[in-house]
Amino acid sequence: MITTHGLARSFHVDGRRIDAVKGVDIDVSPGMGVTLLGPNGAGKTTSFRMLTTLLRPTAGTATVAGHDLLADPTGVRRRIGYVAQGGGTCGEHTVREELETQGQLYGLSRAKARRRGGEVVEQLELNGLENRLVKTLSGGQRRRLDVALGLVHSPLVVFLDEPTAGLDPQSRAALWKRVHMLRTELGTTVFVTTHYLEEADAFSDQVLIIDHGQIIAEGTPEALKAKVAGHRVEITVPMDLVQAAAAIAERLPHASKPSVIGDTVRFQVPRGDAVIPDLIRAMDLASIPTLSIQVVQPTLDDIFLLLTGRSIREQPNTETSTPDRM
């Protein structure tokens, strides 16, 4: 459904070249739920904007929904839906008007746009809101409307850029429930970007991890997590002692290079339970009070940590070297 070879995009700003996406190869089968996961500035939105024809690649080729991205962008556009970060709705129209206008923009007749509008209202649980002005909707309702707008022309593939950003947990859960339904009941291919690791894990058939414009790992969430041998240990200490705690963690046998997030030090070890007594003893000797210690099963963030030495939740360090693809 989506195939790319060496897809790349650079920008030139003040005489400086920024390689936002550095040649990605993507292969997404029909009906799959795929997540592009990566930290801020990794190249997620740029990739999406290329795949949805909004931005011309500087190199590479791609086929989306059976149409060549460069040779037939109109063919691609007709068969995809794109829900941008922040959406694109006008607050002064009603939900029904927005949906019908969008359907007609995609070439549906007025009657067909109205019928499809009714269907997507059902699918995204917007019933009862059809006559409400968009500006009166809650954040979660508005985001569900954004997704509904991306679906009104029955696309084969829908691209959702950060669909749940800024929503409360309840609205996020409601949106994912509907997105899941799109795949299971309608067979729509759904390609999303998210920062939320737990959502990527729960939703995806396939996860593509992107960093500095390159895909550095891909696979099912289970297969990716299985690459992380052992456990993650997280130790929280007073903020002014966190670097000292990281230095102690680094000296533990078989420990990975620790990362520091706020007042917490994170690192990998083959067996978490085996390392805890030594860790507590070393903290006591250094007079560092331990506020909490946790041994955690691997998450998708651990694969990122393993490959880059950073957490997806940290701000990107643009100076780091490019890791090898797994």
List of residues contacting ligand ATP (CB under 6 A): 11, 13, 18, 20, 38, 40-46
Which CB atom, from 47 or from 189, has the smaller least distance to ligand ATP?
Answer: 47
Which CB atom, from 206 or from 214, has the smaller least distance to ligand ATP?
Answer: 214
3-class state of residue 236 by DSSP: strand
CB 245, min distance to ligand ATP, A: 29
Cα separation values, 70 from 24, 114, 281, Å: 16, 32, 61
Which CB atom, from 44 or from 232, has the smaller least distance to ligand ATP?
Answer: 44
Cα separation values, 296 from 218, 234, 235, 267, 281, Å: 22, 8, 11, 10, 20
Closest residue by Cα to residue 192 from 28, 310, 20? 28
Specify the pairing of strand 80-83 against strand 157-161.
parallel
Residues facing 231 on adjacent strands: 269
Which CB atom, from 100 or from 201, has the smaller least distance to ligand ATP?
Answer: 201
CB 72, min distance to ligand ATP, A: 24
Decide: 214 and 322 in contact? Cβ < 8 Å.
yes
Please name the residues in contact with 259: beta carbons below 8 A apart, sequence gap of 6 or more: 265, 266, 267, 305, 309, 310, 311, 314
CB 162, min distance to ligand ATP, A: 7
CB 301, min distance to ligand ATP, A: 15
Which CB atom, from 47 or from 141, has the smaller least distance to ligand ATP?
Answer: 47
CB 19, min distance to ligand ATP, A: 8
Using CA atoms, how far apart are residues 23 and 177, in angstroms rounded to an integer? 33
User: Which residues in 149-158 are b (16+ Cβ under 10 Å) and which e?
Assistant: bbbbbbbbbb
Instruction: Provide the token pair at 205.
Output: 């058939």
CB 236, min distance to ligand ATP, A: 26
Which CB atom, from 13 or from 285, has the smaller least distance to ligand ATP?
Answer: 13
